[in-house]
Structure 1
Amino acid sequence: MNRPIPRESIRRSWERCAQQGLDMADTAMDGGLRRSALNLRLEEKSRLIAYAHPLIEHLHQSLARTSSLIVLTDESATVLRTLGDPGIVARAEEIALFPGAVWSEERMGTNAIGLALNEGQAAAVIEDEHYLLRHRFLRGIACPIPMPDNDGGILGVLGIISDGDLSIPHARALVQNAVDLIETRLVETHPHALCQIRIAPSQEALATPLEGILVVDEEGRVAALNRRARQFSGACHGRAIDEALHLSPQEKQRLLKSAADRPVCLVNTRRQTFWSRLTQPPAFLIPEAAAVETSQDDDTALPLVRLDTGDSRMKAAIQRALRVVDRNIPLMIQGETGSGKEVFAQACHLSSLRSRGPFVAINCAAIPGPLIEAELFGYSEGAFTGARQQGSAGKLREAHGGTLFLDEIGDMPVGLQSVLLRVLETRSVSPLGGGEEIPLDIAIICASHQPLQEKVAEGSFRADLFFRLSGMSLCIPPLRERSDLAALAQRILEQECGGQAPRLTAEALDLLRRHPWPGNIRQLRNVLRLAAAMIDPATPLLRPEHLPAELSEGGTSNGPTTSHHSLRASEVRLVKEAVTRCGGNISAAARELGITRTTLYRKLQQDAEP
């Protein structure tokens, strides 16, 4: 059988077990770490867990119906995560293979996890090779996860344990590939990374799993590197970049002066020819504990998870967004004005690996058409009359390393759409007035209240841009259709009032539920902010009399069966009433309703529609 380590390592392990006094027939098992201690360990290892989590799921899917358990441990062999078919999970629990248990060789005898840690390399232990009799129904393969900023250090172990006919060579390839990907992500997001250098023996191997990756700190030293970089160059952590890659001063300058993401061929002092690519690191550094959160009420939960207040349509949108948030898939958010599209987009950004990068929002409907191009792409000095003397970087460049949110994308002029399409295809931008193209590293999220498919059909929106931007489309339901208004209103009150938030009475909540909310969540927030100011602190209850008069003066819907025409008529009437109260001041009325001036004008125009 083709095993990843020689039989000799099994013999050495058995000898160590015997010297430690382990009894092969021992059936005693401890319960592992206490829950509090395990939670602390999970928090300490949150960065490892965050990057391992999607790979664990992928391995589980690849080994479906093979009775296999995917296991992640830390450097002490303490189990952090397991995922597998129900049958193997149950059998694993019988032998204390669950989160919190310690599967070191000292405690569990010869096993794949403990052996991989002791040997510092991939290890397979098959059935009777296990030291303890109770483990001899298992077949296991495990691979250490290297510590990218500590040569020879081990961060944890990823393994596959099975009680079935697991193919060890196939499983080893799967585990090693997963470990390489985890290590690469740890290197790319190292907190001291100033830039990334990618190396490979050929240009074709760049941007593939075969490339080596080094990140350099502000002192010009290697802060972290992956296994491929070590194997190919012999580089070590802590060395200056020219020493690590054996570069002459001239070749070092060629590398550092090369354009970002443009491959360059180098020859080192050992007469090795290799290809290299210099890239900037992502603006995000360390992901939050993405694998530890469980509840939207938990302060450690991802921002997207915290948006879930009980509505089934919102929950579905959140779950879909979580699946693609770090997969370089453009997101298109559809929904009425004020329904929370920008809040949702910002939560996607803050839940992603770009969370420490900028979130730049631009409302395409709020900027006059001739100015959108300058706002987006920036301009050089003297590009046009009235341009700033020093020029402008533009929103695209401001979003480098983070997320660009294009709100009301349907209002973008057709001529500009083709320019944006080219930027998305080339991932570079040229400022107006000339200048070289500047590489971009951005995630794109768009939003629109308009049915863009209809605009594509009528020719006012480019089909190729639509398909480029809508990698995944999500719909945010309007407030009047949401089932979680009570929880949402209470959360808004808590955000506005802090720990002294009043509670809504049943009567006040009934008024909120009967209102058609033309301004959606934005209007609800304005209403609750005003109501909270009207409350006597001594009686922390929000009653109907604290709410604006328009909520009880006929501004109600006829329940869930209200027709679209009736709702639209109610919205138009409420908008007109707001304009009247504000003495015809459109800006003031828009602020009161929590909508933009453009939206207010559009709703007034609906009055003339059949």
Structure 2
Amino acid sequence: MSSTLASHAATPHADPERHILIARAHARSTGFGLEATHAADYQSLGARALHELVDANQMLYKHALPVMETLHAQIANTESMVLLTDSGGVILHSLGDGDFADRARRVALAPGVSWAESSKGTNAIGTALAEARPAVVHADEHFLRANRTLTCSCVPISGPFGQMLGALDVSGDHRGFHKHTMALVRMSAQMIENHLFSTHFTDAALVRFHARPEFVGTLFEGMAAFAPDGTFLAANRSGLFQLGLSPDTLNRQSFAALFGMPLGTALKQGVDAPGQLLTLTLPSRVLVFARIALLAPPRRAQAARATKSATTSALAALDTGDARMAAVLQRVDKVRGRDIPILVLGRTGTGKEWLARAIHRDSPRGAAPFVAVNCASIPESLIEAELFGYEDGAFTGARRRGSPGKLVQAHGGTLFLDEIGDMPLAQQVRLMRVLQERAVTPLGGAHAIPVDLRIICATHRDLRAMIAAGTFREDLYYRINALSVTLPALRERTDLPVLVERILTQQLAQAEHGDAHPTRVAADVLAHFQRHPWPGNLRQMVNVLRTAAIMAEGEEEIRVEHLPEDFEREPMFAQDSDAASAFMPPTPVMPVTPAGTPERLRDREAAMIHQALARHGGNVSLAARELGLSRNTIYRRLKRS
């Protein structure tokens, strides 16, 4: 069992209501004629029958898969797996850690197997579906002894009209129970339900609403659909809760009765003030903030999609032919227009900020500010003031009129926190509070300032390992990681020729009028690029091409002699095959002799840093880029040496 899993090992909190639920499930299990000592029924559907079952649940399957992938990324390396079932408890799809997936198959946690209570007794899937409510079944709470090595958290998935469609479950080794698992499963199931709801209705008005404006466009928003004449059609879970009326009562209501104005008036306000939130009044007199749109019928919707794809998309512009990058862009595109926090992982220089800017430009916030903060480049003593702002006289050296801070500057737009793993723990606590309360209090200030922003974070570090080490807050991790994507290193990409062409074209467009920059590289240069390890990734290649283009001014192409002199001599970097090292900064390979003590290695490391600084005239930023390290790391290692 991994150290991370072991560090979180626990048991579910004692809950009388859950105890009653388990007792009812055991009673049903006994009623089915099962006994605790019975061997589990491992019978599975044949391949053809399973294929037909997936086809019959195609909409659920289609909308659940991307969410399952995200959930699986969040629970990776915890000896557990994500399962999707139909309404009868038959597993349609599973994603799991390799070692645990092998063990799971031995207890029939596999596609085609039924986990209904009638065959498996008390278990999270069967019990959640039988009770039509979320269920945690842990270890000895399972009816069959064969299943008592498991801990399972399951949430039913309902369709737009409240009908049971299936269930989402996370099952794992009982020794690795984690209190946050059910929260993640609940959020994921709600996301699937919201996707199903928003895509089900055509030729209808869809209103998204919440009493708190920052929750509109998020997982927690209420949604309600209305016919063009204002007749109520359906609402999602949050919508039903906020409206506070029974489904039977809602079916007799109109838009005007539920939201205090005619549907036509609300649609006109939405058109007249695009991007602005409407203020509507519920029957309970509660004010809610809302966005409303008239969904096109199928033919008009297809035409709209065709028109949209024909327009310039910042995300589409990043698709240069690499399959891994295309998969990243496809996942990000699925949450386009939603304020879902995104965590971008990858080595230094892989283009994390480029992706964040593209996400921002393609979102409804695209016309608002994009504010980027590199948490690794700001001294620890200044990062609090930089992020949260400060009032006049808050500290010695503060500006006379204070500073609003990056969070306030990003109001209405997107805040990009690069190298979030380098943020000090004290500031992680403050950031968590801001994200919860959607308000920031500057240093020396007495009043909180409301902020409406989307957050995108990036890091090259392994945040899970940092959580285990106590250097990164677990609650902040889950707050910023609703969707995570990993950018491939440049040496792993298959689209290098297209990237080179794209970078040269962009540099040509930015060149001063009259400069004759080359628009291509010679074949031997391209071959050299494809063999190169690129420790600095895209950032390094941009700098190499910029310098080479200047050296080749007046020429049609860049040749080997135009490349920077130090390009051939730069140190080769280790290529650790361990997946966990994918988020750690590249480490120079140093010759180790019998006398290779840590002191000698530090001397060698310091010498490499000094050489890089000398090549770049003492410019720390350029030296850091060449070595694939952050500026703060350079300063720390120089100080240590």
Counterpart residue type for residue 206 of structure 2? L
The match for 1:233 is 261
| 2:365 aligned with 1:331 | no
| Residue matched to 1:549 | 565
Q: 1:383 to 1:581 in 2, by over 3 A?
A: closer
The residue aligned with 1:376 is 387
Shift of 1:578: 2.9
CA contact (8 A) 1:290 1:302 kept: no
Structure-2 change in CA distance of 1:602 and 1:345 (3 Å): farther
Task: Please point out which of 285, 302, 305 is paired with 1:291.
Answer: 305
2:429 matches 1:418: yes
Q: Quick check: 2:414–2:455 contact (8 Å CA) kept in 1?
A: yes
Residue pair 2:616, 2:623 contacting (<8 A) in 1 also: yes
Work out the percentage of aligned pairs sharing the same amino acid.
Answer: 42
| Match of residue 180 from structure 1 | 205
Determine if the alignment matches structure 1 residue 477 to structure 2 residue 488: yes
**Counterpart of 2:349 in 1: which secondary structure?**
coil
> Following the alignment from structure 1 to structure 2, what is the Cα–Cα distance between the partners of residues 277 and 559?
53
Q: Structure 1 residue 273: deviation in Å? A: 8.2
Q: Unpaired runs of 5+ in structure 2?
A: 1-56, 63-195, 214-222, 224-234, 244-253, 270-275, 293-302, 510-515, 591-603
Amino acid across the alignment from 1:432 = L
Structure 1 residue identity aligned to 2:320 = T
Whole-angstrom CA distance in 1 between matches of 2:518 and 2:335: 35
- The answer to whether structure 1 residue 531 and structure 2 residue 548 are counterparts is yes
Q: How far apart, in 1, do the equivalents of 2:306 and 2:346 lie?
A: 31
Aligned position for 1:568: 588
Q: For residue 239 of structure 2, what is the aligned residue in structure 1?
A: 208
Distance 1:494 1:583 in 2: 28
Q: 1:599 to 1:508 in 2, by over 3 A?
A: farther
Partners of 1:473 and 1:397 in 2: how far apart? 25
Q: 1:177 to 1:507 in 2, by over 3 A?
A: closer
- Aligned-residue offset at 1:381: 2.6
- Aligned residue pairs: how many? 381
* Cα distance change of structure 1 residues 261 and 380 upon mapping to structure 2, 3 Å threshold: farther
**Is 2:369 the counterpart of 1:358?**
yes
1:208 corresponds to which letter in structure 2?
Answer: G
Q: 2:529 aligns with which of 485, 500, 512?
A: 512
Q: What is the match of residue 388 of structure 1?
A: 399
Match of 1:301 among 308, 312, 316: 312
What secondary structure sits across from 2:260 in the alignment? helix
1:562 and 1:279 map into 2 onto residues whose CA distance is 47
Query: Separation in 2 of the partners of 1:511 and 1:315?
Result: 25
Provide the rounded CA distance (Å) in 1 between the counterparts of 2:639 and 2:537: 19
Map residues 446-485 of structure 1 onto 2, 5 A cutoff: 446-485=457-496
SS in 2 for 1:516: coil
Q: Hey, what does 2:138 align to over in structure 1?
A: none
**Higher mean Cα deviation, 472-481 or 562-571?**
562-571
Q: TM-score, normalised by structure 2?
A: 0.50
Match of 2:111 in 1: none
Which of residues 513, 518, 538 in structure 2 aligns to 1:521? 538
Partner of 2:358: 347
Distance 1:484 1:233 in 2: 53
> Unaligned stretches of 5+ in structure 1?
1-58, 65-170, 189-197, 199-203, 213-225, 242-259, 267-271, 282-288
Q: Determine which of 581, 602, 607 is the counterpart of 2:615.
A: 581
Q: CA RMSD in A?
A: 4.9
Distance in 1 between residues matched to 2:495 and 2:445, nearest whole Å: 51
Distance in 2 (alpha carbons) for counterparts of 1:492 and 1:262: 43
**CA distance in 2 between partners of 1:438 and 1:451 (Å):** 33
The structural deviation recorded for 1:341 is 0.7
**Within 5 Å, which residues of 2 pair with 1:266-281?**
274-277=285-288
Change (3 A) 1:500 1:368: closer
Instruction: Mark the CA change 1:593 to 1:501 in structure 2 (over 3 Å): closer, same or farther.
Output: farther
AA aligned opposite 1:548: P
CA distance in 2, matches of 1:569, 1:330: 36
Looking at structure 1, the residues matched to 474 and 575 of structure 2 have their Cα atoms a distance apart, in angstroms, of: 38
The answer (yes or no) to whether the contact 1:380–1:434 under 8 Å persists in 2 is: yes
CA distance in structure 1 between the partners assigned to 2:472 and 2:341 by the alignment: 17
| Whole-angstrom distance in 2 between the partners of 1:489 and 1:374 | 39
Report if the CA contact (8 A) 1:180-1:227 is conserved.
no
Inter-partner Cα distance in structure 2 for 1:211 and 1:340: 41
Larger Rg: 1
2:410 is aligned with 1:409: no
CA gap 1:596/1:536 in 2 versus in 1, 3 angstroms: same
- Once the two structures are superposed, what CA deviation does each residue of 1:543-576 show, in whole Å capped at 9, x if it has no partner? 1111112334576789999999998328979766
Instruction: Using the TM superposition, give the Cα deviation of residue 206 of structure 1 relative to its aligned residue in structure 2, in angstroms.
Output: 13
Provide closer, same or farther for how the CA distance between residues 601 and 521 of structure 1 changes in structure 2, counting only shifts above 3 A. Answer: farther
Shift of residue 505, structure 1, vs aligned partner: 1.6
Change (3 A) 1:500 1:294: farther
Residues 515, 551 of structure 1: 8 Å contact kept: no
Instruction: Give how far 1:535 is off.
Output: 2.0
User: What TM-score do you get using the length of structure 1 for normalisation?
Assistant: 0.52
Per the alignment, do residues 595 and 346 of structure 1 end up closer, same or farther by CA in structure 2, a change over 3 Å counting? farther
Asked whether the equivalents of residues 314 and 362 of structure 2 are also in contact (C-alpha less than 8 Å), the reply is yes
- Return closer, same or farther for 1:515/1:206 CA change in 2, 3 Å cut-off: closer
Whether the aligned pair in 1 keeps the contact of 2:343 and 2:481 (CA below 8 Å) is yes
Deviations 1:57-87 (CA, angstroms, capped at 9, x unpaired): xx993799xxxxxxxxxxxxxxxxxxxxxxx
- Kept in 2: contact 1:514–1:559 (CA 8 A): no
Measure, in 2, the Cα distance between the counterparts of 1:475 and 1:446.
Answer: 12
Aligned residue type for 1:61: M
| Distance in 2 between residues matched to 1:293 and 1:549, nearest whole Å | 48
1:451 deviates by: 1.0
Partners of 2:623 and 2:198 in 1: how far apart? 63
Given that 2:209 and 2:290 are in contact with CA atoms closer than 8 Å, whether structure 1 keeps it comes out as no
Letter in 1 for 2:531: R
Alpha-carbon shift at residue 305 of structure 1 (Å): 1.4
1:209 offset after TM fit, Å?
A: 7.7
Post-superposition Cα deviations, 1:248-304, rounded to whole Å, max 9, x if no partner, equal xxxxxxxxxxxx9999999xxxxx9833346899xxxxxxx9834798xx7x33111
Conservation of the 8 A alpha-carbon contact between 2:536 and 2:626: no
| Structure 1 letter corresponding to 2:542 | R
Q: Answer yes or no: is the 8 Å Cα contact 2:350–2:489 preserved in 1.
A: yes
Distance 1:393 1:208, change over 3 A: farther
Separation in structure 2 between the aligned mates of residue 566 and residue 595 of structure 1, nearest angstrom: 8
1:447 counterpart SS class: strand
- Amino acid aligned to 2:410: A
